[in-house]
Structure 1
Amino acid sequence: MENICVEWQVRAIRGATTASENSVEAIRESVRELLDELETRNNLDPELMISATFSVTRDLDAIFPAAIARERPHWCNVPLLDVQQMHVKGSLERCIRFLIHINWQAQVEIYHPYLRGAQNLRPDWNLAVAVAGEK
């Protein structure tokens, strides 16, 4: 039997979305959609996550995104942190971002989800995904 060695490394996944309003329901809907996209497109196993930091703009304070993430299967043991995003005049409003560190197979591509009003924050990543999906 052949001995197969899989090389792992710590990688970071970024993503963002926007909420339609500052309410528990709207934030929950946005965070769930974002994390569904993250897990589905990356075939992600939350047990491999090291930690996740969520940031929100100052106009979102109805609920912590980490509290929503803890409701998900297998996320209860992931260290989660919520912070307020630095305010920059004219920046995207009602924005929720995450930065996740994960143990990832070295040669596997990562999809960074940017949804709703946040799609233009990293158009280079959205373009790369669109091009890769066309092959």
Structure 2
Amino acid sequence: MEWKVRAIRGATTVSENSVEAIQDAVHELLDELESLNQLDPSDIISAMFSATRDIDVVFPAAIARSRPRWDNVPLLDVQQMHVEGGLERCIRFLIHVNTPHPQVHHPYLRNAKNLRPDWGVAPVMPSPSTVQSHS
């Protein structure tokens, strides 16, 4: 089994700019990340979280750091670029992991499902048996 570095994207939304709502959403998102990808946090290389400008009461990375075995993961928070008409109260992540799995799953939850409906819960990388040659 060959281990590789893979990047996993994900996003969710919060109902309000409160510590409780953000904690619930971040934990739900990271639970889904770990479950879908059979991920042990010790295999995480780094994680970057972004939040839209209407989320400012707590750092998503601080919530991640409080999770079991996330205390040694290098974490970073940034503000998502504002685009008029963009999804509000949205938290995104980009996480790099070492994994033996050839496919990764990108969790998009709540209203963030609309950001990447093509990814949903299905794998983004096709299995070798479904790849067609374009010769």
In 1, Cα distance between equivalents of 2:120 and 2:43? 24
Match of 1:116 in 2: 110
Match of 1:75 in 2: 70
In 2, Cα distance between equivalents of 1:67 and 1:29? 13
| 1:40 to partner: Cα distance | 1.1
Matched-pair contact (CA < 8 Å) for 2:105–2:121: no
Q: Secondary structure at the match of 2:86?
A: coil
Aligned: 1:10 with 2:5: yes
TM-score normalised by the chain length of structure 1:
0.88
TM-score normalised by the chain length of structure 2:
0.88
In 2, Cα distance between equivalents of 1:85 and 1:102? 22
How do residues 30-69 of structure 1 correspond to structure 2 at under 5 angstroms?
Answer: 30-69=25-64
Aligned: 1:125 with 2:108: no
Matched-pair contact (CA < 8 Å) for 2:106–2:121: no
Letter in 2 for 1:116: R
Query: Unmatched 5+ residue regions in structure 2?
Result: 127-135
Aligned length: 124
| 1:127 to partner: Cα distance | 6.6
| 1:104 to partner: Cα distance | 1.4
Report runs of 4+ in structure 1 exceeding 3 Å deviation: none
Match of 1:91 in 2: 86
Identity value in percent: 70
In 1, Cα distance between equivalents of 2:72 and 2:122? 32
Match of 1:103 in 2: 98
Letter in 2 for 1:55: S
- 1:48-96, Cα deviation, whole Å (9 max, x unpaired): 1100000000000010000000111100000000000000000000000
Q: Secondary structure at the match of 2:91?
A: strand
Cα RMSD (Å): 1.4
